[in-house]
Amino acid sequence: MKKLITIAVMLVSNHLYANTNSSCVQSSSQIKAQYQITESQQNHQQSRELTLWRNGEQVAHQSDNIVELWQHLKNNQIRPIRYFTEHKRGIEYQPSEVTGKQSWSAKYQLLDKKLIDKMKLVSEQGQGCDKSQLLEFADKNIKIKVNWLPELQLAQSIQISQGQYAREIKLLSKNTDKTLINQQFKQWDLYQTTDYADVGDNENDPFLAKMINQGFIEHGATGFYNQNGEMLQGHGHHH
């Protein structure tokens, strides 16, 4: 059994990083993917939607009123911008204002590349851009099942269970229409933005005054996972 697993992992790596179909990669770098996220704990269940947008070196996670956008810089740093769609405003952060280590892949494909690397390939089907793989990972805390589209570097579904808590992320639709995607990123780019560093000096701006006085408590639906399968999330402090 052990030998089989090793071989399977090698196959995954080969497929992911050696034999990637270039036309698929191209279409995967500009994509709009709509997901439904369902969380359940005992009898409680709630659902929300999250749209993953990719545009080359930019990734956005869009939820109801908030878009978290990340730009992958030449020096591998990640620069976040937060758009408030209702206000058509944005706050631009500097990489140093966030933190040292950031995972681009966790934002780009919802799952950290290192997590995908260590998952077990259970089965595989389809061809070319439609090829899909069933990947699994389990340790004593967490169980993750992923239906993975390796050529698109996109998750078709993610199921995570952690004791009583379960979370399912389902791909509802995907769209690779370049015009649509370019337009969306352009629209966000036209929003009036303010540097995070400049917020404090703008108490005369009603939008920023609200931010100064009350902070922004609206949260994005961002849900993505680090190499240990732990969710990186905006609410609650993990200490």
Partner 1 sequence: MVTKMNKIKLLPLAILTSLTGCSIDFSTDSDNETLTVATQLEVGSELCINGGTQTLSGDDTNDNGELDADEIEDTKVECNAPETSLSSEQLASLTNNQWFKDAQAKVSSSQTNRETVAKESGKAKNVILFVGDGMGVSTVTAARIFAGQLNGKQGEEHQLSFEMMPYSGFAKTYNVDAQTPDSAGTMTAMISGVKTDVGVIGVAEGVERGDCASVDGQELVTALELAEIAGKSTGIVTTARITHATPAATYAKSPDRNWEDNDDMPQTAIDAGCEDIAAQLVNFEANLEARFSGLDVNGIEVVMGGGRRHFLPKDAAFNSADAVSSVEGDRTDSRDLTAEWQTQYPQGTYVMDKTGFDAIATDASKVFALFNESHMQYEADRANDIAGEPSLSEMTAKAIDILDNNDNGFFLTVESGRIDHAHHAGNAYNALNDTVELAKAVQVAIDNTNAEETLIIVTADHSHVFTIAGYPKRGNPILGKVVPVGSDEPSLADDGMPYTTVGYTNGLGFRDLGDETDAEMSYLEPAVTGRVDLTGVDTQAPGFHQESLVPLGSETHAGEDVGVYASGPGAHLVTGTNEQSLIFHVMDFASDLVSSADAVVTE
Residue range at the interface with partner 1 (CB under 8 A); choices 14-22, 100-108, 127-135, 171-179: 100-108
Q: Does residue 223 touch partner 1 according to CB under 8 A?
A: no
Kindly calculate the radius of gyration of the chain based on its CA atoms and give it in whole angstroms: 19
Structure tokens, 210: 């609200």
Task: Return the residue of 21, 29, 71, 162 that touches partner 1, per CB under 8 A.
Answer: 71
Give the β-pairing of 192-195 and 89-92. parallel
Residue 212 binds: one of Zn ion, partner 1, none (C-beta under 5 to 8 A by kind): partner 1
How many CB atoms sit inside 10 A of residue 73's CB?
12
Residue 165 binds: one of partner 1, Zn ion, none (C-beta under 5 to 8 A by kind): none
Q: How far is the CB of 69 from partner 1 (least distance, A)?
A: 10
Strand partners, 61: 52, 68
CA–CA separation, 72 and 77 (whole Å): 6
Site string for Zn ion, 14-53 (x = CB under 5 A): ----------------------------------------
Per DSSP, helices labelled H in the chain are 2-13, 22-28, 104-108, 113-117, 178-190, 206-214
Restricted to residues 157-216, the positions that interact with Zn ion (CB under 5 A) are: 201
CA–CA separation, 113 and 103 (whole Å): 9
Restricted to residues 135-174, the positions that interact with partner 1 (CB under 8 A) are: none
Best CA proximity match to 14, nearest among 130, 121, 103, 104: 121
Question: What are residue 205's phi and psi, to 5 degrees?
Answer: -90, 120
The nearer residue to partner 1, 1 or 217, going by C-beta atoms, is 217
Residues at the interface with Zn ion (CB under 5 A): 201
Residues at the interface with partner 1 (CB under 8 A): 57-58, 68, 71, 73-75, 77, 79-80, 82, 92-103, 185, 189, 195-205, 211-217, 219-220, 222, 226, 230, 232-235, 237-238
